[in-house]
Amino acid sequence: MILASLVDMSRLQFALTAMFHWIFVPLTIGLGVIIALMETYYVRTGNEFWKRTTRFWMKIFAINFAIGVATGIILEFQFGTNWSNYAWFVGDIFGAPLAIEGMLAFFLESTFFAIMFFGWNKVSKNVHLLSTWLVSLGTILSAFWILIANAWMQFPVGMEFNPDTVRNEMVDFWAVVTSPVAVNKFIHTATNAFVLGSVVVIGICCWYLLQKREEEFSRRSIKIAAVFGLISLVVLIWTGDGSAYHVGKKQPMKLAAMEGLYKSKEGTPLVAIGILNPRKDIRRMKEDSLSYMLESPYIFNISIPEGLSLLANRKMGTIVPGIEDILNGGYTYTNRNGEEKIAPPIEERMQRGRIAAEALATYNKARISGDEANMTEAKKVLDENFDHFGYAYIKDPVEIVPNVPLVFYSFRIMVILGGFFLLFFSLTIYFERKAIIGKQRWFQYLGIISIPLVYICSQCGWIVAEVGRQPWTIQDLLPVSASVSSVSSSAVLTTIILFFALFTALLAAEIGIMIKVIRKGPEA
């Protein structure tokens, strides 16, 4: 019970920090490209209007950049303070992208940020423009390396386990960097940030139009943001489809939770809108199997026929495994070596995980005593069962089922809001081209309301990605219960309270400063 409490507290602390951090980061990434595009217009045309416009949005960028750095540092420190077993187990791999991010991306940002923000009229136009683009590139590269590390946790590749050190070691750096999960995840997350930045720009400009202020500034800013946002959203939707495909092949339990899918069938439908039946809980199967079997997964749902088969397998009429199927095994999945395998039942994976753990213990005893024959035999058994290593820490098969309602509803909120923003950008471009956006007061209110909506959409995406892979810190290799540090749950609870107070104060300060800057408007 104490360990469970510690795991829950550590997860809550990390979730709190990550979600606060993600409030600031996507706006920084999205605005970085937008202000670089605006300054490019200024350098090419020499029109002082674009300089004034760029400097205004640069202030919003700077506010988010500073607070994003503060929350990001706290987030990285937690790997050592709260997740030291995880850091030991995979630190040689996970630490590499983070180190590169610090040495390359953050160095690039911090070096040229000063020139970008304070260098107006102190360096040439071209040097200043180059600095702005390099800062924007730095924010994108920072996200790139962090997302490579995150994608590796979802699909660990390019590594070998060293039983002498009980650590995973990188053997193929480029396999980690070019993993299809990593590439798709980076493009998906970056375009998400571009969309968010575009919506915020449009929303702020809609406020100016409501106030009948800065009409030229607002219309031109809206034009750039709407076009950039629409292009980014199209790529975002495309990579979202790619994400679903990779999840279906490599993390089938996450996909089953996203759909509330318990039992597979040929030509699996995709739930467009639905309400889950709270009584359909896999944990009730043992308590009352007959009642569980009779319960429908949904109280209400509208589904697209064969949609999930097409999404997950690129082929209609195919089977997508549900939660019960994954527990019972027999479906096809892609292992970390890129090989398609028939999944054994979870209970068998738990047994093979224990065999791997026992083989590791035998290997270390033999190594200490100098028994090379036993070392060789134990290493062979360990290698044969290592893909199931993490299941040694699973006590009950249902532990591998994530929080289905949270993942299911978060996924639908994200998709529905994605469709809304597709319409929103299209209407924005139409109204701007017709030069009537300043007359559409209902649309101006909609633009302001869209700012919190785009943040909700972005956060829901991370909930699906991270809650959906629970209970794993590293998919199939290390659950969260085996990743935590040996600290007291009360100490973690204390830091949660402190962090929540600190982050709330930072967020309030950011919003207050931004409101002051927005009310003041662009400099004359």
Average pLDDT over residues 12-16: 90
Q: What is the pLDDT of residue 61?
A: 93
Cβ atoms of 483 and 471 within 8 Å: the answer is no
Average pLDDT over residues 500-521: 91
Tokens 């009730």 sit on residue: 284
Cβ atoms of 116 and 13 within 8 Å: the answer is no
Average pLDDT over residues 442-467: 95
- For 170, the 3-state DSSP assignment is strand
CA end-to-end distance (rounded Å), the chain: 62
Q: What is the pLDDT of residue 1?
A: 44
Tokens 């992208």 sit on residue: 97
pLDDT exceeds 70 at position 359: yes
Cβ atoms of 136 and 35 within 8 Å: the answer is yes
- For 290, the 3-state DSSP assignment is helix
For the stretch 397-429, pLDDT in tens is 999 999 999 999 999 999 999 999 999 999 999
**Cα separation, 518 vs 206, whole angstroms:** 12
**Cα separation, 258 vs 469, whole angstroms:** 11
* Phi then psi dihedrals of residue 303, to 5 deg: -120, 155
For the stretch 33-45, pLDDT in tens is 999 999 999 999 9
Tokens 């950039």 sit on residue: 228
**Cα separation, 60 vs 70, whole angstroms:** 16
Cβ atoms of 126 and 43 within 8 Å: the answer is yes
Query: Which of 300, 308, 298 has its CA nearest to residue 264?
Result: 308
Average pLDDT over residues 176-199: 94
Q: What is the pLDDT of residue 408?
A: 96
**Cα separation, 346 vs 390, whole angstroms:** 11
Cβ atoms of 515 and 32 within 8 Å: the answer is no
3-7, 74-78, 92-96, 175-179: range with lowest mean pLDDT: 3-7
Q: What is the pLDDT of residue 3?
A: 52
Beta strands in 120-216 (DSSP E): 159-162, 167-170
For the stretch 371-398, pLDDT in tens is 888 899 999 999 999 989 999 999 999 9
Query: Which of 435, 318, 2, 26 has its CA nearest to residue 201?
Result: 26
* Phi then psi dihedrals of residue 168, to 5 deg: -90, 135
Q: What is the pLDDT of residue 8?
A: 87
pLDDT exceeds 90 at position 257: yes
DSSP assignment string, 418-466 = HHHHHHHHHHHHHHHHTT-GGG-HHHHHHHHHHHHHHHHHHHHHHHHHH
Q: Which amino acid is at 351?
A: Q
DSSP, res 121 = T
**How would you label 423-447 residue by residue, b for 16+ Cβ within 10 Å and e otherwise?**
ebbebbbebbeeeebbebeebbebb
Average pLDDT over residues 290-303: 79
Largest CA distance in the chain: 83
pLDDT mean across residues, the chain: 90
Q: Would you place residue 139 in the very low, low, confident or very high pLDDT band (cuts 50, 70, 90)? A: very high
Among 4-18, 316-330, 379-393, 443-457, the range with the most confident prediction by mean pLDDT is 443-457
Average pLDDT over residues 324-343: 82
Q: What is the pLDDT of residue 6?
A: 86
DSSP, res 103 = I
Cβ atoms of 464 and 258 within 8 Å: the answer is yes
* Phi then psi dihedrals of residue 171, to 5 deg: -120, -15
**How would you label 197-212 residue by residue, b for 16+ Cβ within 10 Å and e otherwise?**
bbbbbbbbbbbbbeee
For the stretch 208-244, pLDDT in tens is 999 998 999 999 999 999 999 999 999 999 999 999 9
At a CB cut-off of 8 Å and minimum separation 6, what does 524 contact?
none
For the stretch 47-58, pLDDT in tens is 999 999 999 999
pTM of model > 0.95 = no
Q: Would you place residue 458 in the very low, low, confident or very high pLDDT band (cuts 50, 70, 90)? A: very high
Query: Which of 259, 399, 385, 392 has its CA nearest to residue 327?
Result: 399
Average pLDDT over residues 438-467: 94
Show the tokens assigned to 341. Answer: 């395998």
Report the percentage of the chain scoring pLDDT > 70.
Answer: 98
CA angle 469, 99, 104 (to 5 degrees): 115
Q: What is the pLDDT of residue 291?
A: 64
**Cα separation, 518 vs 57, whole angstroms:** 10
Average pLDDT over residues 454-464: 95
Q: What is the pLDDT of residue 290?
A: 59
Q: What is the pLDDT of residue 437?
A: 87
**Cα separation, 259 vs 280, whole angstroms:** 13
- C-alpha dihedral, 299 to 301 to 306 to 312, nearest 10°: -80
pLDDT exceeds 80 at position 324: yes
Cβ atoms of 170 and 96 within 8 Å: the answer is yes
pLDDT exceeds 50 at position 24: yes
Q: Which residues pair with 315 in a beta bridge?
A: none
Cβ atoms of 197 and 378 within 8 Å: the answer is no
CA distances from 290 to 134, 181, 280, 295, 434 (A): 62, 39, 12, 9, 62
**Cα separation, 338 vs 227, whole angstroms:** 38
**Cα separation, 254 vs 400, whole angstroms:** 10
Show the tokens assigned to 326. Answer: 């994954």
Query: Which of 191, 261, 236, 237 has its CA nearest to residue 407?
Result: 261
* Phi then psi dihedrals of residue 90, to 5 deg: -130, 15
Tally: H helices and E strands in the chain: 17, 8
Q: What is the pLDDT of residue 97?
A: 86
Of the CA atoms within 13 Å of residue 40, those in its CB half-sphere come to 11
Average pLDDT over residues 180-184: 92
Q: What is the pLDDT of residue 292?
A: 67
DSSP assignment string, 135-154 = HHHHHHHHHHHHHHHHHHHH
